[in-house]
């Protein structure tokens, strides 16, 4: 089979690596990929907002199916566009992608289908939002509606901070804003919960714990994710059943009532409060770095699994996992998530990986055989082990060997499962 992967991050390198191990995958294209994918696939420089170019390339090269990594093309309707030309794509259509593309769409869906989530209000102007603040207890959560790369969420401790958030959103900091959300702050522990679906049937696809804040101790600014581990320490049969019954099933029912289906990975960002799951957000794709930490645990042939989804045959495919733990540490460019330098050379020659150790590139590029940084999140080191502690110790020792002077990383990834 020939497979194409859309995207260029650590998630896409991990997807590529799993496909490469498939006995049926003969050729992989990455649009546009990174220095890591270039070693196992053919990277194709293409403007991802130009669906027509991608369609022509896919037809020309007779690619069997495409996997969409990031949310932007999904929310923009890439699946609907390509399916019109009979191209097979693993990812949700534009309607279902609203689960991630519009927080207000998801909140209304939760309301209509009784899905547990934080109490909320929708506001169309500064005045009404500020009036509402007078009745609020702090902290309070204020969110821009559309995609904002994880940045459109404010957790405001005071009325003053909340007013600034409201103004920034309505002033267009995250794109034109006709409305915003004000939400109750949920206390608890977060968990990333995944399913894989072929549009007709779905299966659970593991759990993970992300670390979104830039500094150790979960302090500082929000990032795309500084590291993750799998499984989440919260996972158990009883909680899984609650998540499926109260959140996943009603969501899929709601999409069906909207005459849609969900094909692809669905990622529920949850807050677990006193053993009860609440939906914080949906993502219509794998998480990054959750994907990097989850996929190395997959025993099942990933290429055949996605093929089964494309053929609507997931029901007859079993998904098997390695039973051990997995932990991923992300190495970033100094300055991330604010300003950082690009084009700084990386020397990867000292990195000798063992059997359960993985290096996934994110913001990197290859020029004349040399690897350079090309983004805020640069590399992911993933280690599988029987214990989270040994996985983290090993990942940290690999990062020390790497010794990249422009890099930094959190040394406390997994603190809830390692240090307590
Ligand atoms: P989101 O982009 O909606 O996932 O929000 C980003 C992060 O903000 C989440 O991962 C949570 O850590 C935090 N967050 C969002 N909404 C809430 C909430 N209602 N209560 C507490 N924390 C929240
Ligand atoms: N790890 C967070 C995300 O992928 O959105």
Give 283-296 pLDDT, tens digit per residue: 999 999 999 999 99
Q: In CATH, what number is assigned to the domain containing residue 366?
A: 3.90.600.10
Q: Is the pLDDT of residue 342 over 60?
A: yes
Considering only 37-51, 107-121, 132-146, 354-368, which range has the smallest mean pLDDT?
132-146
290 ligand 2 Cβ < 6 A = yes
Write down the pLDDT at residue 137.
Answer: 84
- Show which of 184, 215, 231 is a domain's final residue: 184
Q: Residue 264 is encoded by which pair of tokens?
A: 């692809």
Q: Which of 117, 136, 141, 226 to mutate to test the pocket of ligand 1 (most atoms within 8 A of CB)?
A: 141
Cα of 206 vs centre of ligand 2, distance in Å, is 15
30 and 83 share one domain: yes
- In the structure, what pLDDT confidence band is assigned to residue 172 with cuts at 50, 70 and 90? confident
> Is 104 contained in some domain?
no
Mean pLDDT, range 382-409, rounded to an integer: 96
Closest ligand to Cα 120? 1
Cα of 355 vs centre of ligand 1, distance in Å, is 36
9 ligand 2 Cβ < 6 A = no
> Is 266 contained in some domain?
yes
- In the structure, what pLDDT confidence band is assigned to residue 311 with cuts at 50, 70 and 90? very high
Closest ligand to Cα 289? 2
What range does the domain containing 130 cover? 119-184
Angle at the Cα of 257 (from 255 to 260), degrees rounded to 5? 45
Cα of 288 vs centre of ligand 2, distance in Å, is 5
Q: Are 380 and 291 in contact (CB under 8 A)?
A: no
Write down the pLDDT at residue 150.
Answer: 63
281 ligand 2 Cβ < 6 A = no
Query: How far are the Cα atoms of 119, 183, 271, 381 from residue 137, in angstroms, in the given order?
Result: 12, 11, 19, 41
228 and 179 share one domain: no
198 and 311 share one domain: yes
- In the structure, what pLDDT confidence band is assigned to residue 82 with cuts at 50, 70 and 90? very high
Nearest Cα residue to 78 out of 306, 313, 267, 264: 264
- Percentage of the chain exceeding pLDDT 90: 85
Closest ligand 1 atom to residue 185 Cα is 20
300 and 224 share one domain: yes
Q: Are 325 and 229 in contact (CB under 8 A)?
A: yes
Q: Are 24 and 84 in contact (CB under 8 A)?
A: no
* Local structure of 400: helix, strand or coil: helix
Q: Is the pLDDT of residue 326 over 90?
A: yes
Q: What is the pLDDT of residues 255-267, one digit of tens each?
A: 999 999 999 999 9
Which pTM value belongs to this model? Answer: 0.94
Write down the pLDDT at residue 40.
Answer: 95
Q: Whose CA is nearest to atom 5 of ligand 2?
A: 287
- In the structure, what pLDDT confidence band is assigned to residue 412 with cuts at 50, 70 and 90? very high
Q: In CATH, what number is assigned to the domain containing residue 294?
A: 3.30.470.20
190 ligand 1 Cβ < 6 A = yes
The DSSP bridge pattern shows strands 65-68 and 2-7 to be parallel
243 and 178 share one domain: no
201 and 304 share one domain: yes
* Local structure of 407: helix, strand or coil: strand
Closest ligand to Cα 281? 1
pLDDT greater at residue 351 or residue 152? 351
Q: Are 286 and 69 in contact (CB under 8 A)?
A: yes
User: d(Cα 83, Cα 89) in Å, to the nearest integer?
Assistant: 7
Write down the pLDDT at residue 350.
Answer: 83
Q: Is the pLDDT of residue 93 over 80?
A: yes
Q: What is the pLDDT of residues 20-29, one digit of tens each?
A: 999 999 999 9
> Is 98 contained in some domain?
no
Q: Is the pLDDT of residue 353 over 90?
A: yes
- Show which of 184, 214, 241 is a domain's final residue: 184
Question: For the chain, what is the domain count?
Answer: 4
**Residue 251: what are its φ and ψ, rounded to 5°?**
-65, -45
Angle at the Cα of 71 (from 15 to 244), degrees rounded to 5? 80
Closest ligand to Cα 222? 1
Write down the pLDDT at residue 176.
Answer: 82
231 and 302 share one domain: yes
Q: Are 416 and 410 in contact (CB under 8 A)?
A: no
- Show which of 316, 333, 358 is a domain's final residue: 316
237 and 251 share one domain: yes
User: d(Cα 239, Cα 245) in Å, to the nearest integer?
Assistant: 10
CB atoms closer than 10 angstroms to residue 26: 11
Q: Is the pLDDT of residue 420 over 60?
A: no
Nearest Cα residue to 191 out of 230, 138, 141: 230
283 ligand 2 Cβ < 6 A = yes
User: d(Cα 62, Cα 248) in Å, to the nearest integer?
Assistant: 35
pLDDT greater at residue 223 or residue 68? 68
User: d(Cα 224, Cα 295) in Å, to the nearest integer?
Assistant: 18
Query: How far are the Cα atoms of 106, 412, 419 from residue 146, in angstroms, in the given order?
Result: 11, 31, 37
Q: Residue 101 is encoded by which pair of tokens?
A: 């593309």
123 and 44 share one domain: no
């Amino acid at each position: 089979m020939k497979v194409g992967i859309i995207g260029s991050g650590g998630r896409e390198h991990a997807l590529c690596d799993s496909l490469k191990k498939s006995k049926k995958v003969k050729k992989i294209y990455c649009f546009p990929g990174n220095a890591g994918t270039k070693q196992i696939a053919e990277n194709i420089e293409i403007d991802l907002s130009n669906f027509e170019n991608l369609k022509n390339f896919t037809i020309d090269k007779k690619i069997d199916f495409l996997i969409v990594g990031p949310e932007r093309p999904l929310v923009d309707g890439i699946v609907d566009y390509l399916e019109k030309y009979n191209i097979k794509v693993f990812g949700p259509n534009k309607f279902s992608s609203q689960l991630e593309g519009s927080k207000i769409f998801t909140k209304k869906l939760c309301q209509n289908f009784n899905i547990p989530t934080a109490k909320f209000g929708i506001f169309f102007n500064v005045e009404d939002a500020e009036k509402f603040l007078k009745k609020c207890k702090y902290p309070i959560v204020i969110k821009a509606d559309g995609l904002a790369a994880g940045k459109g969420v404010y957790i405001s401790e005071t009325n003053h901070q909340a007013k600034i958030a409201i103004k920034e959103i309505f002033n267009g900091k995250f794109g034109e804003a006709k409305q915003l959300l004000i939400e109750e702050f949920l206390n608890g522990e977060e968990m990333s919960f995944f399913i894989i679906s072929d549009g007709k049937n779905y299966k659970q696809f593991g759990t993970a714990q992300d670390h979104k804040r830039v500094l150790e101790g979960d302090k500082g600014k929000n990032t795309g994710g500084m590291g993750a581990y799998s499984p989440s320490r919260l996972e158990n049969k009883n909680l899984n059943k609650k998540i499926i019954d109260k959140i996943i099933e009603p969501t899929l029912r709601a999409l069906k009532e909207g005459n849609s289906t969900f094909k692809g990975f669905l990622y529920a960002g949850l807050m677990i409060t006193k053993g009860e799951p609440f939906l914080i957000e949906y993502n219509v794709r794998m998480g990054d770095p959750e994907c990097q930490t989850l996929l190395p645990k997959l025993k099942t042939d990933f290429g055949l699994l996605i093929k089964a989804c494309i053929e609507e045959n997931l029901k007859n495919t079993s998904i098997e996992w390695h039973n051990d733990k997995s932990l991923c540490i992300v190495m970033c460019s100094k300055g991330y998530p604010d300003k950082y330098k690009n084009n700084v050379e990386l020397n990867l020659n000292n990195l000798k990986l063992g059997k359960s150790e993985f290096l996934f590139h994110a913001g990197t590029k290859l020029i004349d055989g040399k690897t350079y940084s090309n983004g805020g999140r640069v590399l992911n080191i993933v280690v599988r082990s029987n214990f989270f502690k040994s996985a983290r110790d090993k990942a940290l020792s690999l990062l020390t060997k790497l010794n990249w002077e422009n890099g930094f990383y959190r040394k406390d990834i997994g603190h809830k499962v390692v240090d307590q």
